[in-house]
Amino acid sequence: MSDKFLIKLERFSAWVLLVLIILYIISGFGMVKRIIDPVLARYIHTELLPIPLFIFFVLHVGIATNYALRRWGVFKSAKAGDIYVIIFGLILLVLFFWLYLL
């Protein structure tokens, strides 16, 4: 993929992640402080938000980490960094889904 596309994807994922985190916080307070209907808050907090929140988190962190590793010269080639970040992201996704579905 081109760097231009990845940078746009990383920025988009950051904005989506910001909205999801705000909704997650509001739904959490909705359950505890009853600022919104507790049943709706619990559904949003436990059923609706976890999967997209984690997917966008891994996407955002993965792309940003890839560029940081490139800047720091951790890997000799860009492909090695790409493979490392993809494998690490997939491991995190599998771990999350395994824990979520328990």
Read off the pTM: 0.86
How distant, in Å, are the alpha carbons of 13, 41, 68, 85, 94 from that of 75?
Answer: 25, 44, 11, 11, 25
In 61-71, which positions are buried (b, 16+ CB within 10 angstroms) versus exposed (e)? bbbbbbeebbe
Q: What is the pLDDT of residue 48?
A: 96
Nearest to 65 by CA among 52, 81, 80, 87: 81
Q: What is the pLDDT of residue 3?
A: 86
Positions of the chain with pLDDT lower than 70, given as ranges: 1
The full set of domain ranges for the chain reads 3-101
pLDDT tens readout for residues 53-77: 999 999 999 999 999 999 999 988 8
CB of 44 closer than 8 Å to CB of 35: no
Q: What is the pLDDT of residue 1?
A: 65
